[in-house]
Amino acid sequence: MAGARAAIRYAKAVLSLAQDQNTAEAVNNDMKLIANTIAGSKDLRDMLNSPVVSPSIKKASLLEIFKNTNALTVNAIDTLIANKRIAILNDVVKQYSILFDQHKGTQVATVTTALPLTDDLKSKVLAKVKELTGKEAEIKNIIDESIIGGFILRVGDLQYNASIANQLSKLKREFTLN
């Protein structure tokens, strides 16, 4: 819990500086790159969380991996290392993206489907999200064959489950209750 609050504070500070320097968009792209890289590498996650690996090695590794990033992103990494908080880097980059999207007035709509969304369906989902929330959104499509068909739409803390698996589960509950 304390790590989550700290991550929000660091993310707010980085966003504030990025807005002052008109580099918020570039820093957001860096943050997405870092989040994707950490998500895709178990070794990197282990290194960030390891108390055995020295801060200087962590810093050198991160600066080498993310050498083409904005100076503000590098400063954020330096600050996290100096404050012995580099283990929350992944939380900080995620919070930055959330705060950046809130600042821009956009949000991420997660659509879980059994098959990839077509462009036509993406535009319909975007229109529906705008109608429901009044805000623009980006679509993040997650493929999960276990839902059989239909979709699950999640925007912020709203969720609409129109999956076949959910409907079958409801039917099963109805039959077992009677």
91 and 125 within one domain: no
- Above 80 in pLDDT, residue 2? no
Task: Judge if pTM exceeds 0.75.
Answer: no
Domain boundary among 63, 81, 102: 102
163 and 76 within one domain: no
93 and 138 within one domain: no
pLDDT value of residue 57:
93
144 and 78 within one domain: no
- For residue 54, what pLDDT band results from cuts at 50, 70 and 90? very high
pLDDT value of residue 131:
84
Number of domains in the chain: 2
Helices first, then strands: H and E counts in the chain: 8, 4
Alpha helices, DSSP H, located in 41-163: 42-49, 55-65, 71-82, 89-104, 119-133
What range defines the domain where residue 130 resides? 106-177
Domain boundary among 71, 102, 133: 102
pLDDT value of residue 132:
80
pLDDT tens string 84-130? 999 999 999 999 998 998 888 888 889 999 999 999 988 888 888 88
